[in-house]
Structure 1
Amino acid sequence: MKTYEQLVNEALEHVEEIFPWDLAEILEQDQGLMLLDVREPYEFDAMHIQGALNVPRGILETACEYNYEETVPELVTAREREIIVICRSGKRSVLVADVMQQLGYRNVKSLKTGMRGWSDDDQEMVDSDGKPVDEDSAIEYFTPRLRPEQMGQ
């Protein structure tokens, strides 16, 4: 049996990561890359990077192919585009980037440290209405809240 961390570390053998500050520089140059946020819709609605496409991890594979209810044509046709995959902490995004490479995406990277790192680097985020998210709200949102039964031995 493998742990979540082991799965992520195995995927990292194939996946390149990009730091938040490097992504911010690239976005300033507006090079037409795709930002793919694979968090759940409620996470995306709370705060995300302006212009990101939300395709939850749970439907990724079918979103990347035609002939499914979840098909996202913009994603299907992006196999040659530069894509940065985003999640909360940078772990789901590594797994997604690995799967996308297996599906034929040639230039896909993961945002190291995810939205938490993006927030820590004081980068701009917006909510579902396109309104800026303030730093205090982001800090509160990204603070872990584990219940006792979720803690390991």
Structure 2
Amino acid sequence: MFGHNQVPGIGAAEVPAEAYLLDVRENDEWVAGHAPEAHHVPMHTIPARLDEIPVDRDVVVVCRSGGRSAQVVAYLLQSGRDNVRNLDGGMTAWARAGRPMVNEDGGTPQVA
């Protein structure tokens, strides 16, 4: 379903506040820690949920380290989207850059 060559990317420190952050990780990864404004759409549900992904603003796709999100970016590009970029280094890079994180359990957010 997904394949990728070279996809457009962006560093964690450069993600604009107005970007739509699309987190494609699994539920347990999401619960452990995610960006406060992120939207959770697990990778395997992307084809069925394309209409939830904006076409009129920048979309930054994120996973744990950047591999799965790159595959999703490639899929979205093949689907005719031109407003998508991969978060280089994923949530690991996001956390290293000191960007805000929350979790769903009330504990300390972490990248899982």
TM-score range, shorter chain: 0.7 to 0.9
Matches of 1:87 and 1:54, distance apart in 2: 10
- 5+ residue gaps, structure 2, are none
SS class of match (1:93): helix
Matches of 2:13 and 2:52, distance apart in 1: 26
Counterpart in the other structure of 1:50: 36
Q: Does 1:86 align with 2:62?
A: yes
> Is the 1:124–1:132 contact (alpha carbons within 8 Å) kept by the matching residues of 2?
no
Stretches of 4+ aligned residues off by more than 6 angstroms: none
Out of 75, 86, 101, the residue aligned to residue 110 of structure 1 is 86
Counterpart in the other structure of 1:74: 52
Matches of 1:128 and 1:12, distance apart in 2: 34
* Aligned CA distance change for structure 1 residues 35 and 48 (closer, same or farther; 3 Å): same
Deviation sequence 1:1-55 (CA, Å, 0-9, x none): xxxxxx5xxx242x111011111xx22xxx3x21100001111111000111100
Task: Report 1 or 2 for greater relative contact order, CA contacts < 8 Å, sequence distance ≥ 6.
Answer: 2
SS class of match (1:101): helix
Question: How many positions carry a matched residue from both structures?
Answer: 110
Q: CA RMSD in A?
A: 1.9
Amino acid in structure 2 at the alignment position of 1:53: H
- 5+ residue gaps, structure 1, are 1-6, 65-72, 143-153
Deviation sequence 1:62-112 (CA, Å, 0-9, x none): 111xxxxxxxx432xx12321000000011010000001111212100000
Q: TM-score, normalised by structure 2?
A: 0.87
Q: Does 1:123 align with 2:99?
A: yes
Q: TM-score, normalised by structure 1?
A: 0.65
Q: Does 1:98 align with 2:74?
A: yes
Amino acid in structure 2 at the alignment position of 1:18: I
Q: Using the TM superposition, give the Cα deviation of residue 132 of structure 1 relative to its aligned residue in structure 2, in angstroms.
A: 7.3
Matches of 1:122 and 1:109, distance apart in 2: 20
Higher radius of gyration, 1 or 2: 1
